[in-house]
Amino acid sequence: MKHLHHHPANKARVSHWTRQQVSQIEADDAIDFPHFDPQQVKVLMPGYDVWDNWYALDENNQIADVQGFRVLVALAAPSDSFDETNLYYFYSRDGLHYQAGGKVFTTPLESGIQEWSGSTLLRNDGALQTFYTVVKESGDYSGRSHRSRQGSQGMPPAGMSAQGSQAAGPQGSSQSQMPGQGQMGAVQNDQRLATAIQDVVIAGNRLSLAEPRYHAILAVPDGQYYQTMTQASERETLFPTSSTTGSTQSNNFCFRDPHFFKDPSDGRSYLLFEANTGNAICPEGSVRREYIGSASFEPDYVPTPDELKANGCIGIAELTNEGYTAARFLPPLLTSNLVTDEIERVNMLKIKDDYYLFCIGRVSKMAMSCEALERSTFMLGFRSRSLFGPYTPLNRHGVVLRQQSFSSDMMNSSDTQSVYSYLLQPDLTVLTYAQYSTDADGNLQKNRSAGPTLSLHIKGNRSYVGEVIYNILPA
């Protein structure tokens, strides 16, 4: 097995979004999502809810020109059946009006799966390569099943390994606890990363995707750097819920949202993704000062059971062949131990000489919060001089965008201003989806669709929101 002894990741320390940083978040117009006109948000595909969405990017990390078209990929499902979540694609000549092209994959990789978020690359050979999440209903040791956006378990495929995992141990001292064998755990769902390569077919003003010439699972959690479903399930038994905060108190297992990034400094290619920490680095249940903050902050901190379960992280794997079909795990870039299990929709931009790392979250998934995040969704941003850190939070606390809902249940909100799934683009605009949209007759309805786009301004370690535009409309 090849190890990355001279890889730059070996020179970096894992960064953390800390409890102290969360405590510093304040209400601020500079981070608040502006009020928008829901009448300007249109139904993108009648009869379907459309949510997480992203543009195809090229190998220079820019929005791609696909033979004169801009391509948008999104999660969508019939409005009456969210169990049928698949990837759909849309295309536009003018970059404003989008025609629905259909499912990205007419035949799924496996039967009985859902397709969740990822990223799409315009390769130098002209094909589109999509990295995405394969989700399959699974069960715990009792054989029960559960439909929720939770976790996975499996053995790494050939070529996927944790760098130095056979000798790796927890960083520094910890109060980590390991579960016993054969314990009953929380119910989880299987999540794996997959990739597919498809040729683009142009006929007049129509763009279509050919059947994949390559389509396979790319990565599953290894248990060392990235937690498996079994580990998450067992730890749920070890640290049972105390239901002190949030709406999702069971272990919220995550292994999803792969984002392609080619480092302009050396040409190496990577996938960044959402995960939970494994046994080797910052494991679930460990308590360390670097997760908390300075020595003077919470000096006598004692974790709750929910906080012990919080071990979200931003993972990274290097793509190791020219076809981007093999990968090798590297240590996490950033963790959120003792804060939250879920920091999703990971994104990376290089602006001048700096690397900017972004992800999003929901307070309902957090083990701790603060007044400024009540009923909120948010986007976090971090800055570093190196891809591998250390990362400094923007605006001192990390929050670059926040939306506070009038509803306690943000994901089923009756608030017509409700948006989520923020994704920063290379042009510093933020894609969203909206809970409400307007049909062809002008009727406002609860139908998720591509939401308003927001500009974001970044200056060093500071950011502030700009103007809202409506630039993803039906053809």
Residue-wise pLDDT for 250-280, tens only, equals 578 899 999 999 999 999 999 999 999 999 9
178, part of any domain:
yes
Cis peptide before 221 (omega within 30 of 0): no
As given in the structure block, the two tokens for residue 110 are 């496996």
Residue-range definition of the domain harbouring residue 250: 8-474
Residue-wise pLDDT for 17-76, tens only, equals 999 999 999 999 999 999 999 999 999 999 999 999 999 999 999 999 999 999 999 999
Separation CA 392–CA 316 (nearest Å)? 18
Q: Which of 140, 222, 306, 344 is catalytic?
A: 344
51, part of any domain:
yes
Separation CA 164–CA 137 (nearest Å)? 32
Residue-wise pLDDT for 164-198, tens only, equals 332 233 333 333 333 333 334 455 688 999 999 99
Tell me the backbone φ, ψ of residue 301, rounded to 5 degrees. -60, 130
Residues 237, 184 contacting (CB under 8 angstroms): yes
Percentage of the chain beyond pLDDT 70 is 82
Separation CA 324–CA 343 (nearest Å)? 25
User: What is the DSSP code (8-state) at residue 211?
Assistant: P
Tell me the backbone φ, ψ of residue 364, rounded to 5 degrees. -65, -15
Residue 315 in this model has a pLDDT that exceeds 50: yes
As given in the structure block, the two tokens for residue 92 are 């536009």
267, part of any domain:
yes
Residues 448, 435 contacting (CB under 8 angstroms): yes
Position 11 scores a pLDDT of 58
Q: Which of 52, 115, 284, 318 is catalytic?
A: 52
19, part of any domain:
yes
Residues 128, 66 contacting (CB under 8 angstroms): yes
Average pLDDT over residues 305-309: 90
Residue-wise pLDDT for 79-117, tens only, equals 988 789 999 999 999 999 999 999 999 999 999 999 999
List binding-site positions for substrate: 51, 117, 256-257, 342-344, 362
List binding-site positions for Ca(2+): 311, 341
Contacts of 47 (CB under 8 A, 6+ apart): 78, 79
12, part of any domain:
yes
DSSP string, 105-142: -SS-SSTTEEEEEEEEEE-TTS-EEEEEEEEE--B-TT
Residues 258, 271 contacting (CB under 8 angstroms): yes
2, part of any domain:
no
Residue-wise pLDDT for 355-393, tens only, equals 999 999 999 889 988 899 998 999 999 999 999 999 999
As given in the structure block, the two tokens for residue 371 are 């007044």
CATH number of the structural domain spanning residue 232 = 2.115.10.20
| Other beta carbons less than 10 A from residue 366's beta carbon | 27
Tally of structural domains, the chain: 1
Residue carrying the six token digits 């974790």: 303
1, part of any domain:
no
239, part of any domain:
yes
Among 80, 36, 40, 49, CA closest to 442: 40
Residue 401's alpha-carbon distances to 230, 341, 452, 455, in angstroms, are 34, 19, 14, 11
Active site residue 298: no
Active site residue 344: yes
